[in-house]
């Protein structure tokens, strides 16, 4: 396990490449100035972390912040995975990296870190990016840049990827996977298409895309929104009468992302009634876990107490511990973040970004089609306790997409397994399009079901199907 770590030490101590004047670490093509030596209160680990800025528009002064972690073992032979959170306007570093699939979670007092034993860096090198500018520590010196939308977000991410590979040339030709969740159901396919179009035109460097995976993704509003109410209804969260009123009164084909939603008064009333019954005391992103009460937690954090509240095996207060940790100046310094002293504090979802509210209406299925026409596998996965973008809409959309592509079912709908238990249910079409639920998982799939999520991800990056028997070779 330590073999590659020692190899690196060997090169480092000789320092041959440093003598040659190349700014690389041990011949790997990593930028020394972005190396994160250690994060405050971080457990010791054998892999490296890098963080910093990549300018995407020098004239406007627009710069995106990234956090990169090497794979835990054998990083030189593992693929690279880009992960984006959604929102629009939410942080991939705060969300994906530090509360979902990265190597560390905040400790209960918000002043240190603990190890995530199911980190996805067991299967891949991981790159998290704050996108668009205005999210997390990404920023622009031109305030009008904060008025943005899908097209400019994809364009900036395309520039980001090109520039990031200049910092990390060792990864340019590496197998690249693009993944994300929620509104990244827009970001990831749009970026994938931009990179594929680049590949078609470019005689130079290409992006070696090997797969696209999106979890609980917003794909098509007029299917994803009604499935929220169907989920409420099927989980006993609203009455039969209100469920029926929504089914009868709402024409979701005319539903718009922006509010008011272009619906009849009867429909708007039924939706209002439904949301009122569901109430504030439920976590819509995971309807089976308990909620965390902010006022209690914030006081505990101030008093240096552990804010941890375990519900169904997970710390439901983790997001508050993370916010506390990310706002510590020493954490920002260690991450090379916030170098321009941004005039607001760090938060998970940005209130600076003025994101287009019509782009939410864009139908993403044609982009998924285009990606698969380039023979790139697409996985749509879905935590089955999420009411925000529930599996009900995604499953139908995937089937319709398969039909449109004239794909036949290549794996019939059935259970997949992890450690002898059902990890969820899955189906595959045309050997390219996979739909998989994750049993007991939230909107943030790796958060509530870390082991099942890692198992799904490991199979995805190895180009393998999910195991359909209790006896699995790969059980990480
Ligand atoms: C933004 O402005 C600050 C302050 O002038 C400067 O230090 C920083 O380099 C600028 N950022 C970019 C990306 O040009
Ligand atoms: C709103 O609904 C009306 C009638 O159903 C429809 O004609 C119109 O195109 C819709 N507008 C939008 C922006 O979808
Ligand atoms: C950036 O740093 C300043 C202090 O220098 C701090 O007040 C602000 O909250 C920080 N902002 C973010 C987004 O981290
Ligand atoms: C937000 O974007 C809209 C539409 O692009 C624009 O009309 C509005 O002025 C923007 N608001 C701010 C505060 O920049
Ligand atoms: C499991 O998958 C294999 C290979 O794809 C297939 O041959 C087999 O019939 C499947 N078994 C079940 C129980 O579905």
pLDDT tens for 188-239 read: 999 999 999 999 999 989 999 999 999 999 999 999 999 999 999 999 999 9
| 216 CB near ligand 3 (under 6 Å) | no
Taking the CB of residue 246, how many other CB atoms lie within 10 A of it? 25
Asked, as a colleague might, if the bond just before 132 is cis with ω within 30 of 0, I would say: yes
Q: Give the span between the Cα atoms of 469 and 53, in whole angstroms.
A: 45
Location of each CATH 3.40.50.1820 domain in the chain = 32-220+359-461
Express each pLDDT in 242-293 by its tens digit: 999 999 999 999 888 888 888 999 999 999 999 999 998 999 999 999 999 9
pLDDT higher than 60, residue 53: yes
- Residues 352-369 have a mean pLDDT of 96
Express each pLDDT in 7-27 by its tens digit: 333 333 333 333 343 444 444
Q: Give the span between the Cα atoms of 71 and 79, in whole angstroms.
A: 9
Q: What is the pLDDT of residue 452?
A: 97
Q: Give the span between the Cα atoms of 26 and 311, in whole angstroms.
A: 44
| 354 CB near ligand 4 (under 6 Å) | yes
State the pTM of this model.
0.93
CATH code, residues 32-220+359-461: 3.40.50.1820
Q: Which ligand is nearest to the CA of 133?
A: 1
CA distances from 252 to 14, 233, 263, 444 (A): 65, 16, 8, 25
According to DSSP, the β-strands at 49-57 and 35-36 are: antiparallel
Taking the CB of residue 116, how many other CB atoms lie within 10 A of it? 21
Find the 157 Cα to ligand 3 centroid distance in Å. Answer: 24
Predicted confidence band of residue 473 (pLDDT cuts 50, 70, 90):
low
CA distances from 418 to 384, 407, 449, 476 (A): 16, 27, 11, 9
| 256 CB near ligand 4 (under 6 Å) | no
Closest residue by Cα to residue 348 from 113, 98, 121: 98
Q: Give the span between the Cα atoms of 166 and 29, in whole angstroms.
A: 9
Q: Which helix (H) or strand (E) holds 155?
A: helix 150-167
SS3 content of the chain, % helix, strand, coil (to 5): 40, 20, 40
Closest residue by Cα to residue 367 from 393, 401, 342, 396: 401
Express each pLDDT in 79-116 by its tens digit: 999 999 999 999 999 999 999 999 999 999 999 999 99
According to DSSP, the β-strands at 176-181 and 104-106 are: unpaired
Predicted confidence band of residue 126 (pLDDT cuts 50, 70, 90):
very high
Q: What one-character-per-residue DSSP string does 10-63 give?
A: HHHHHTHHHHTT---STTS---GGGEE---TTPPP-SS-EEEEEEEEETTTTEE
Q: What is the pLDDT of residue 28?
A: 64
The alpha carbon dihedral of 41, 70, 100, 222 has a sign of positive
Express each pLDDT in 308-321 by its tens digit: 999 999 999 999 99
Q: What percent of the chain has pLDDT over 90?
A: 89
Closest atom, ligand 3, to C-alpha of 343: 8
Q: What is the pLDDT of residue 475?
A: 58
The residue written with tokens 């992960």 in the block is 83
Mean confidence (pLDDT) of the chain: 92
Residues serving a catalytic function are 182, 386, 443
Find the 343 Cα to ligand 3 centroid distance in Å. Answer: 6
Q: Give the span between the Cα atoms of 46 and 26, in whole angstroms.
A: 15
Predicted confidence band of residue 472 (pLDDT cuts 50, 70, 90):
low
Give the 3-state secondary structure of residue 81: strand
pLDDT higher than 50, residue 368: yes
Residue whose CA is at the smallest distance from ligand 2 atom 9? 254
Find the 218 Cα to ligand 2 centroid distance in Å. Answer: 21
Residue whose CA is at the smallest distance from ligand 3 atom 9? 345
Q: What is the pLDDT of residue 460?
A: 98
Q: Give the span between the Cα atoms of 465 and 469, in whole angstroms.
A: 11
Backbone angles phi, psi at 433, to 5 degrees: -115, 115
Find the 334 Cα to ligand 3 centroid distance in Å. Answer: 14
On the CB side of 398, CA atoms within 13 Å amount to 31
Closest atom, ligand 3, to C-alpha of 346: 13
Give the 3-state secondary structure of residue 364: coil
Q: Give the span between the Cα atoms of 163 and 374, in whole angstroms.
A: 24
| 475 CB near ligand 2 (under 6 Å) | no
Q: What tokens appear for 434 in the block?
A: 């996979």
Find the 330 Cα to ligand 1 centroid distance in Å. Answer: 21
pLDDT higher than 50, residue 2: no
Q: What percent of the chain has pLDDT over 70?
A: 93
Q: Is the CB of residue 199 less than 8 Å from the CB of residue 68?
A: no
């Amino acid at each position: 396990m330590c073999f590659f770590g020692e190899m690196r030490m060997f090169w480092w101590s000789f320092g041959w490449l440093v003598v040659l004047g190349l700014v690389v670490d041990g011949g790997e093509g990593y930028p020394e100035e972005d190396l994160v030596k250690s994060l405050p209160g971080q457990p010791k680990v054998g892999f490296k972390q890098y963080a910093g800025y990549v300018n995407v528009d020098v004239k406007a002064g627009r710069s995106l912040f990234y956090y990169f972690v090497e794979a835990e073992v054998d990083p030189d032979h593992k693929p690279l995975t880009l992960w984006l959170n959604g929102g629009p306007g939410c942080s991939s570093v705060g969300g994906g990296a530090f509360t979902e699939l990265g190597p560390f979670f905040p400790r209960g007092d918000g002043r240190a870190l603990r190890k995530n034993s199911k980190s996805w860096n067991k299967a891949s090198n991981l790159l998290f990016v704050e996108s668009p500018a205005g999210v997390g520590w990404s920023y622009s010196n031109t305030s009008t840049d904060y008025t943005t939308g899908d097209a400019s977000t994809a364009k900036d991410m395309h520039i980001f990827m090109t520039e990031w590979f200049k910092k990390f040339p060792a990864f340019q030709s590496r197998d690249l996977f693009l993944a994300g969740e929620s509104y990244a159901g827009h970001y990831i396919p749009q970026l994938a298409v931009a990179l594929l179009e680049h590949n078609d035109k470019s005689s130079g460097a290409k992006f070696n895309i090997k797969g696209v995976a999106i979890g609980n993704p917003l794909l098509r509003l007029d299917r994803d929104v009604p499935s929220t109410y169907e989920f409420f209804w099927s989980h006993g969260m609203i009455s039969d009468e209100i469920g029926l009123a929504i089914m009868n009164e709402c024409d979701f084909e005319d539903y718009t992302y922006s509010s008011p939603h272009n619906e009849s008064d009867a429909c708007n009333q039924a939706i209002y009634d439904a949301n009122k019954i569901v109430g504030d005391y439920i976590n819509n992103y995971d309807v089976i876990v308990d909620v965390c009460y902010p006022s209690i937690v914030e006081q505990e954090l101030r008093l240096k107490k552990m804010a941890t509240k375990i519900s169904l095996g997970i710390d439901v207060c983790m997001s508050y511990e993370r916010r506390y940790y990310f706002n510590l100046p020493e954490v920002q310094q260690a991450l090379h973040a916030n170098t321009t002293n941004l005039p607001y504090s760090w938060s998970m979802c940005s209130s600076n970004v003025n994101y287009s509210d019509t782009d939410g209406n864009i139908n993403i299925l044609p982009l998924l089609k285009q990606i698969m026409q380039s023979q790139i596998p697409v996985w749509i996965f879905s935590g089955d306790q999420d009411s925000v973008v529930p599996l009900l809409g995604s499953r139908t959309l995937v089937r319709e997409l398969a039909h449109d592509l004239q794909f036949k079912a290549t794996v019939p709908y059935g259970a997949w397994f992890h450690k002898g238990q059902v990890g969820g249910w899955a189906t595959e079409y045309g050997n390219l399009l996979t739909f998989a639920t994750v049993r007991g998982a939230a909107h943030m799939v790796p958060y509530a079901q870390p082991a099942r999520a890692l198992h799904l991800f490991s199979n995805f990056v190895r180009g393998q199907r999910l195991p359909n028997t209790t006896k699995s070779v790969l059980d990480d």
